[in-house]
Chain A
Amino acid sequence: MSYRQACYDEPLIFDLESEQFCGDEVLKDSPLPETLRRKCLNLPDLPERDVMKHFVRLSQMNFSIDTGFYPLGSCTMKYNPKINEHIARLPGASLIHPNQDESTVQGALQIMHELENMLCEIGGIDAVTLQPAAGAQGEFTGLQIMRAYHEDRGEERKEVIVPDTAHGTNPASAAMVGFDVVELPSKNGMVDCDALKSVAGRNTAGMMLTNPNTLGIFEKDVLEIADIIHDCGALLYYDGANFNAILGKTNPGKMNFDIVHFNLHKTFSTPHGGGGPGAGPVGVKKPLDQYLPVPRIVKNGTYYSLDYNYPKSIGKVRAYLGNFAVLLRAYAYIRSLGPEGLNEVSSRAVANSNYLKTQLEKMIDLPFGGGRMHEFVLSGEKLKSKGVRTLDLAKRLLDYGVHAPTIYFPLIIDEAIMIEPTETESIQTLDRFAEIVHEILQEDSETVRSAPHNTSVKRIDEVKAARELILSYRSLKEHERKFKSHSS
């Protein structure tokens, strides 16, 4: 094994020493009157050379897609083409203000309008808003639309059905919009239509479904599920987190969903940024478009304008029009792939997933057997007999220069290991990953249990972090002082 992550004893930037100490006397030059002024401020004051060195060192202690294989299930960590980065940094995109007069941002509005249209086609829906900042905010938006729809019909429906395999954001978003969550137990890893019939009724506002679901299984009864939901007057919501598996093959509209969100940072390759930004556009079928957030982008002839005149709109879910720089990257991605390219994305993503699955299921259990779509979930339950848990396997993978899969999710699988290779990885990468897993399973359990060994730090004490709650430099220093006075 040859992998070693960079390892610096890099101090916090507050602790980097500066030749010229900057005290609080500088605050005395403030143009604010005395009563408004702050008296002290502790921020770094360093030469550019030291700042650059600090952050480059930090970056080298960070795993990323550009560093290696990142099979984090449900997160779709595909390669982010650099042309899209280049385009997003063009001054015509970055140097425009959201409050500029319509006439001065026609290019930006055109891109957004065209992106809306392409997402309508890809999603099989009638109208799209680009406003939501992330997938979870897309859910929030879609559920607000669901609520407005029922209220508009004079119905007070309180329940949203969510399968037990759903992403945590689904129930959390439903609760935020004021719904009660009804969790639906799955059967053989899929929605159980009989169970669904028994909970769906006049109090059901809607159901949230991911298809393929988080186990990577396609819900083949989706049309029947849609019928059950629609028959009781409720709406069906599509969580687009796993859209990568169906691009160009089917779409939520065809599967009879009413409301859809897209995760542009997953399916359409915009970089994840260490946790964000993303973008979570929401699409609906008519007549739900009347509830979409305002403003809507409308086109008259060749002129684009912003229309606030939608009296039934749910209002605004965030400031301005959306994460434009993310939307632009996704626009560039779709334009560069075209229809066949997008179709190949799902083909290869699903093929890569099944290819890796056939190798790994020989080593680790695959609950519910059978084929999978873009991802699959193994159960590390039997590894316990070797004295190793899923967590240990995950940490040991880091030692080999690959990222760990998503672990302990979905909750219905014991010791879950959720793997999504994405379409951008080569056969060689997949083969090597399978070899690595094979090697780890042969290793002595102590090596695995004490992993990682080759990262910038060893296994981290997360319990201590939650107990001590050191959340800033200030509290770190207080903590160190306390510790010193105790030990002296």
Chain B
Amino acid sequence: MLPRKMLDKLGISSPDELFREIPDKARIDGLNIPPPLGQIDLEREISEILSKNRTMDDLPTFLGGGVYRHHIPPVVQEILSRSEFYTSYTPYQAEASQGMLQALFEYQSMMTELTGMDAVNSSMYDWSTALGEAALMCHRIRPGTRFLIARSISPERKAVLRTYLKGINASIDEISFNPSTGKINIDDLKSRLGEDTFGIYLENPNYFGVFEDEVDDISRTIGDRPFVVGANPLSLVLARPPSEYGADIVIGEGHHLGTNPNFGGPLLGVFGTRKEHIRKMPGRIIGATTDMAGKRAFCMTLQTREQHIRRDKATSNICTNEALMAVAACAYISAIGKRGLVRLVSDNVIKARKFAKMISQIDGFDAPIFDATHFNEFAFRSPIPNDNLQKKLLSNDVHGGIPLDEGFPELENSMLLSVTELHTEHDLLAFKAALEAME
């Protein structure tokens, strides 16, 4: 019902009169959706549906592959719950939006520190679309028809990359990995490099959690072709920043810095590049400047790359992004702090090693299957087909890792297992016990 005052002012007796322009043939007669629910019923009904899920609290879960559950300090949730942040829009009016702008500038600063890049944008949708955009950006830097990727990347991201490359009619070529170490096969890389190669992408640590330790050789081999490195930002707390080995673009997933898995969304696509390529970069960028009184201030900058100014000549169509997730990452890194991060990431690496060792002690199970330095996840092989294994694990109230044989038929009966600081000794033992019961 409209207020009387409004109807009078508009000179109408019913709001229907405001919709006169809609042709009769296009009108609809009501919506066939469920009737409205009050707050009590709404929460009850949705809670009941959600109770059909078995959460990561309900059963120890060893899934990673890009989405991880790390501990979120309550202070991070408190910061994210500030509705001044989460109910604001893109900071087009910079003077009234300094809080968001400064938080995003700080996010950019933390990510440039971790990646070693000169500029990191204030977010892509997720790692996979960051990869798609990175490939398109490589194509702007150096035209070509073939994009080279390591086979040891996430199949999920590879699928998205394929969709993004359609617009430039480019193909994907895969560099094999060494079957015993899981590391990139440099000879294969050499043989596949060609004049038509417009970019190279690898992940470090790769999808199997394996660190590439010959990155300097790889970088020399690639030469001046655009080099894209994908990395879990947490790994970069300890590992060399990709800038040190010649990366032109660094991408990654950052949702686990401060937000929960949320069934895979929203996520946070990290995207950074070197100074010389900044103008070819997609996405929103925050810069420092001053106001009329000379006081330090922040605003969105280089907007002439973006769709609302450049339209079909823009570097990307991205508009809405994952800004709040970037604030979360900033708050998370601040809350945990440098010392805390080093400790946390180290603990994750050590726990994964310990877990692999526990599993390998069981006859017939091999973990990790690759002989290399791992991050917080690793591939393991069992004598049982994955479908069967997962079912049996679930019946023991444990959730296994991501089955690897769909994306990698050569890795039969293998799973990617991931651990974080939230996995207790009890969780690891529960997994081990479930395997032992299958022997």
Do B125 and A137 touch (CB < 8 A)? yes
Given A136-B318, A316-B156, A51 and B334 touching (CB < 8 A)?
yes
A98/B263 contact (C-beta < 8 A), A218-B21, A274-B90 known: yes
A66 near B84 (CB under 8 angstroms)? yes
Interface presence of B248 (CB below 8 A): no
A318 touches B128 (CB 8 A): yes
With a cutoff of 8 Å between Cβ atoms, the chain A residues found around residue B65 in the complex are 99
Say yes or no: is B266 at the interface (Cβ < 8 Å to chain A): yes
- The answer to whether A457 and B28 have CB atoms under 8 Å apart is no
Residue-wise interface mask of A (241-273) relative to B, using a CB-CB cutoff of 8 A (1 in contact, 0 not): 000001011110011100000010100000111
Q: Quick check: is A413 within 8 A (CB to CB) of the other chain?
A: no
Closest A residue to B104 by beta carbon equals: A274
Per the 8 Å Cβ criterion, residues 115-171 of B in contact with A are 118-120, 122-123, 125-129, 136, 154, 156-157, 159-160, 162-163, 166-169
The interface bits of chain A over 77-121 (1 if a CB of B lies within 8 angstroms of the residue's CB, else 0) are 100100101110011111111111101111110110000001001
Q: Which residues of B contact A277 (CB under 8 A)?
A: 265-266, 320-322, 324-325
Residues of A contacting B93 in the complex (Cβ-Cβ under 8 angstroms) = 63, 394-395, 398, 403-404
Nearest A residue (CB) for B353? A31
Q: Shortest Cβ distance from B260 into chain A, in angstroms? A: 4
| Bound-complex Cα distance A341 to B287 (A) | 42
- Give the number of residue pairs across the A-B interface with Cβ within 8 Å: 630
Looking at the assembled complex, report how far the CB atom of A291 sits from the nearest CB atom of chain B, in whole angstroms. 12
**Given A54-B334, A96-B55, A277-B266, are A320 and B95 neighbors across the interface (CB < 8 Å)?**
no
Given the complex, which residues of A lie within 8 Å of B314, measured CB to CB?
Answer: 168, 172, 175
- Pairwise interchain contact B106-A316, C-beta atoms closer than 8 A: no
Interface-facing stretch out of A196-204, A281-289, A438-446, A463-471: A463-471
Interface residues of A in 33-87 (CB under 8 A from B): 33, 35-38, 41-46, 48, 51-52, 54-67, 70, 72, 75, 77, 80, 83, 85-87
Contact B22–A249 (Cβ < 8 Å): yes
Q: Which of B54, B91, B262, B373 contacts A32 (CB 8 A)?
A: B373
Is there a chain B Cβ closer than 8 Å to A193's Cβ?
no
Chain A: interface size category? 35 or more
Cβ-based interface call for A171 (8 A): yes
Cβ contacts under 8 Å, B429 to chain A: none
Known interface pairs A14-B109, A103-B394, A172-B314; A319-B156 also in contact (CB < 8 Å): yes
Within 8 A of B (CB), among A434-459: 450, 452, 455-459
Any A CB within 8 A of the CB of B228? no
- A268, B433: Cα distance in complex, Å: 47
- Whether B183 sits at the interface, judged by CB under 8 Å, is no
The CA of A283 and the CA of B45, in the complex, are separated in Å by 26
Would you give the shortest CB distance from A72 to chain B, in whole angstroms?
6
**Is B54's CB under 8 angstroms from A456's CB?**
no
**Closest chain B CB from A338 CB (angstroms):** 3
Is B192 engaged at the interface, CB distance under 8 Å to the other chain? no
Asked if A376 is an interface residue, CB under 8 A from chain B, the answer is no
User: Are the CB atoms of B92 and A72 closer together than 8 Å?
Assistant: yes
- Is B9 close to A, CB under 8 A? yes
Q: Chain B's nearest CB lies how many Å from the CB of A317?
A: 6
Q: Which residue of A lies closest to B123 (CB)?
A: A276
**Which A-chain residue is minimally distant from B108 (CB atoms)?**
A472
B292–A168 CB distance below 8 A: no
User: Which one, B96, B260, B261, B331, contacts A452 given CB within 8 A?
Assistant: B96
B32 interface contact, C-beta 8 A:
yes
Task: Return B104 CB to nearest CB of chain A, in Å.
Answer: 8
Measured between beta carbons, the chain A residues less than 8 angstroms from B213 are 33, 35-36
Q: List which A120-151 residues lie within 8 A (CB) of chain B.
A: 121-122, 124, 133-137, 139-140, 144, 147
Residues of A within 8 A of B308 (CB): 167-169, 409
A465 touches B299 (CB 8 A): yes
Instruction: State the CA gap A7–B119 with chains docked (Å).
Output: 28
A56 contacts across to B, CB distance below 8 A: 79, 82
| Contact status of A96 and B56, CB under 8 A, knowing A30-B342, A33-B373, A144-B163 | yes
Interface presence of B426 (CB below 8 A) = no
Quote the shortest CB–CB distance from A4 to chain B (angstroms): 12
Give the distance to chain B from A7, nearest Cβ to Cβ, in Å.
Answer: 9
Let me know if B102 and A10 touch, CB within 8 A. yes
Chain A nearest CB, measured from B41 CB (Å): 9
Establish whether residues B33 and A339, one from each chain, have CB atoms under 8 Å apart when the complex forms. Answer: yes
Q: Give the residues in chain B near A110, CB-CB below 8 Å.
A: 49, 52
A59 contacts which chain B residues (CB < 8 A)?
79, 82, 84-85, 99
How many angstroms from the CA of A461 to the CA of B105 in the assembled complex?
16
Chain A, Cβ-Cβ closest to B295 = A457
- Within 8 Å of chain B (Cβ to Cβ): is A334? yes
* B87 with A46: CB separation less than 8 A: no
CB nearest neighbor in A for B279: A469
Contact A95 B163 (CB under 8 A): no
Query: Does A235 make an interface contact (CB < 8 A)?
Result: no
B299: chain A residues within 8 A (beta carbon): 460, 462, 465
In the complex, the answer to whether B89 meets A75 with C-beta atoms within 8 Å is yes
User: Of A54, A251, A350, A398, which contacts B28 at CB under 8 A?
Assistant: A251
Chain B residues whose CB sits within 8 angstroms of the CB of A41 once the complex forms: 113-114, 237, 338, 342
B window 321-340: CB within 8 A of A: 321-325, 327, 330-331, 333-335, 337-340
- How close is A357's CB to chain B, nearest CB, in angstroms? 10
> What CA separation (Å) do A338 and B314 show in the bound complex?
39
Select which of B87, B168, B287 is within 8 A of A468 by beta carbon.
Answer: B287
Alpha-carbon gap, A334 to B31, bound state (A): 11
Bits for A414-437, please: 1 = Cβ < 8 Å to B, else 0: 000000000000010000000000
**Which of B32, B109, B110, B266 is the one whose CB lies under 8 Å from A276?**
B266
Q: Considering the chains assembled together, what is the distance between the CA atoms of A78 and B139 in angstroms?
A: 39
A66 CA to B285 CA in the complex, in Å? 25
Q: Are A338 and B264 in contact (CB under 8 A)?
A: no
Q: Are B102 and A12 in contact (CB under 8 A)?
A: yes
**B36 within 8 Å of A (CB atoms):** yes
Q: List 13 A-B contacts (CB under 8 A).
A: A33-B373, A36-B373, A44-B334, A65-B88, A90-B46, A92-B51, A107-B53, A220-B21, A274-B323, A276-B321, A319-B264, A340-B36, A473-B112
Known interface pairs A104-B399, A274-B90; 19 further A-B residue pairs with C-beta atoms within 8 A, sorted by A's residue number: A22-B337, A30-B238, A37-B240, A48-B75, A65-B88, A92-B53, A99-B67, A111-B49, A137-B129, A167-B319, A251-B28, A263-B320, A316-B159, A318-B129, A319-B126, A319-B157, A338-B33, A338-B35, A355-B9
Nearest 3 pairs of A and B residues by beta carbon: A98-B264, A320-B264, A92-B50
